[in-house]
Chains A and B, each alone.
Chain A
Amino acid sequence: MSQEPVSRDKGGFWVFLRSQLRPRGKILTPFNVISVPIILLGLGILVVRFTQGLGSVTNLSQETPWGFWIGFDVITGVAFAGGAYTITFAVYIMRMEKYHPIVRATVLNGLLAYVFYAGALALDLGRPWNIINPIIGNSFGFNSVLFLVSWHFLLYMLAELLEFSPVVAEWLGARRARRILSAMTLSAVIFGVTLSTLHQSGLGALYLMAKPKIHPLWYSEFIPIFFFVSSIFAGLSMVILEGTLSHRVFKDQIDPKKHHSFDDLIIGLAKGAAIAMFVYYFFRALIFLHDKQWTLLRSGWGAWYLLEIIGLVLIPCFMFAYGVRHRSLGIIRSAAVLTLLGIVLNRLNISIIAYNWYSPVRYYPSWQEIVVTMMVVSAEIWVFRWIVLRMPVMREAHELPSDPQEKPERAAVAASL
């Protein structure tokens, strides 16, 4: 056999890839104008961080070794990614086909959240090259929660990649690969859901050893369960918000026949979020009573705690219920925003605000830490948009209107795979 067809196929692949790298849509959009300087500034800060060390750009210290990058990017970001395991569980295990149209976008969002937010963990390590240690067996530390979390992050990213891989195969026109990868989806989903239940709670378990440092209103032996349950409604709220935004931004990608059913999806998700929040609220109330914490409510910390529990859990829970009952999408979206704020506040309370709460020297994130976090979020949105504009994420490939310009290039790639 001659080598020629292979090289021609490879050439076809590169032509196809080049065609996909071309920008699509308007370049001067408000998001681009805001996000590009943030990303460039963030990259500059990261250069300083990796050449001069953590102390040069962060306010971290021996007293506060975990700051905003862990508290927001990793702990909060992973909770927001909970929508992926919740929706895949509903669609592939419970066979709730109604949610099938949003499963691809949700899995992509979850995958990118893990890649970017959990990836941000590497920024916060004093010696980032040691991140490989739990994987290669150098100081395994079987008893460490971090050991579980690091392995789970790695395995879950692979499971999500597998769940998303049929979309990539469709994009490349590789029908046989798509068939094989689709057959593996159910296994990947079961594996992914199992991993999620453990590492969502595992992130909470990281704080079990910090009992003397966390304010008693936030510390509990049940933090792992709180983290897991709250990741369900955090993920659903994120899907509601992200789905609403995607529905507006990528409306030309969505099958017009499915536009009307989107409202029903949002209402179904809101119903799930309301029930999960109701259960979560009573969990917290039970622990509050069990630990006899009512005397702690008289302080400023008590008011802060009530703001989180009543203002950003109970009220949005009832807003979701009211929105479902009256089919009010506006109220449901507002409830989703409040819920996400509640999750941010809860995770930051445990990891930063109510952590070392008695200390006279408080930790505040530096402006560089905030810019790098904004860079991570912006970069994730850029990649999400790039993929959605090119791959069949909002609907399956055969439902997409064909682009005559792309056809020959795609055909060449498909032939090579």
Chain B
Amino acid sequence: METYTYVNIFETKGLEYLLLMSFLVLLVFFVRYLREPGGDD
């Protein structure tokens, strides 16, 4: 039976992946915010 293995988010660079994914999602929203009506196209 396998025991539970703790995954260290810092050692596995998980935090970096999370940041990168957040960046991509936020970038989409940020660009959309800049293109909303009332802004300039």
Contact = CB atoms under 8 A, between A and B. Distances in A.
Interface of A: 264, 267-268, 271, 274-275, 278-279, 282, 285-286, 289-290, 292, 321, 324-327
10 contacts: A267-B39, A271-B34, A271-B39, A274-B30, A278-B27, A278-B30, A290-B13, A292-B10, A321-B34, A324-B39
B29 to A, nearest CB: 10
Nearest to A278: B30
A103 B8 CA distance: 52
A285 B31 CA distance: 19
B37 to A, nearest CB: 10
Interface in B1-41: 10, 13, 15-16, 19-20, 23, 26-27, 30-31, 33-34, 36, 38-40
A290 B10 CA distance: 9
A324 B34 contact: yes
B31 A327 contact: no
Nearest to A282: B23
A285 B36 CA distance: 27
Contact of A282 (B19, B33, B36, B40): B19
B33 A325 contact: yes
Interface of B: 10, 13, 15-16, 19-20, 23, 26-27, 30-31, 33-34, 36, 38-40
Nearest to A271: B34
A274 B32 CA distance: 12
Minimum-distance CB pairs A-B, first 7: A282-B23, A267-B40, A325-B39, A324-B39, A271-B34, A324-B34, A289-B15
A327 B33 contact: no
Nearest to A281: B23
A286 B16 contact: yes
Contacts of A279: 27
B40 A324 contact: yes
Nearest to B31: A275
B40 A274 contact: no
Given A275-B31, A279-B27, A289 B39 contact: no
A72 B10 CA distance: 37
A275 B19 contact: no
Given A285-B19, A290-B16, A264 B40 contact: yes
Contacts of A292: 10
A275 B40 contact: no
B27 to A, nearest CB: 6
